[in-house]
């Protein structure tokens, strides 16, 4: 192989690797490098009801999930579409 063919082969391999990384990053399979990474799953709140039982509120994109976590497993309690409006406790007399 001459030098031009080798350089072209290396360039093609690097281009394919860059394309593969772009596709994986776009589909959320690989995190990007840097501080602009957005999380798909966000834990909103966790409340312990007992040492073995707790409630978790998770947000995935625009859906909120309320989960009951016990020693026996995880149960989906509620799924809410869209963003909820928070109510201040003072506004309802609490």
pTM of the model: 0.49
Whether the CB-CB separation of 45 and 65 falls below 8 Å is answered with no
Q: Given this model, what pLDDT does residue 60 score?
A: 86
Q: Are residues 46 and 32 in the same domain?
A: no
Cα R_g (the chain), whole angstroms: 23
Pair (31, 16) in one structural domain: yes
To the nearest 10°, report the CA torsion of 53, 57, 58, 61.
160
Please name which of 65, 64, 67 lies closest in space to residue 47, comparing C-alpha atoms.
67
- The number of distinct structural domains making up the chain is 2
Q: How are strands ordered across the β-sheet holding 41-48? A: 41-48, 54-60, 63-70, 73-81
Residues 17 and 29 in one domain: yes
Per-residue pLDDT of the chain (94 residues; tens, 9 = 90+): 688 888 998 999 999 999 998 888 777 666 655 555 566 788 889 999 999 999 999 988 888 999 999 989 999 999 888 765 555 555 555 5
Mark whether 51 and 78 lie in a shared domain.
Answer: yes
CA distance 60 to 43: 9
Are 30 and 48 in a shared domain?
A: no
Residues 19, 8 share a domain? yes
- Answer whether residue 92 is part of any domain: no
Q: Is residue 93 part of a domain?
A: no
């Amino acid at each position: 192989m001459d030098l031009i063919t080798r350089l072209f082969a290396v360039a093609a391999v690097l281009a394919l690797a860059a394309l593969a990384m772009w596709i994986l990053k776009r589909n959320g399979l690989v995190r990007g490098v840097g501080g602009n990474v957005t999380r798909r799953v966000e834990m909103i709140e966790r409340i312990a009801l007992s040492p073995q039982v707790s409630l978790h509120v998770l947000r995935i994109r625009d859906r909120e999930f309320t989960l009951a976590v016990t020693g026996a497993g995880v149960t989906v309690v509620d799924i809410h579409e869209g963003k909820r409006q928070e109510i201040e406790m003072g506004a309802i007399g609490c």
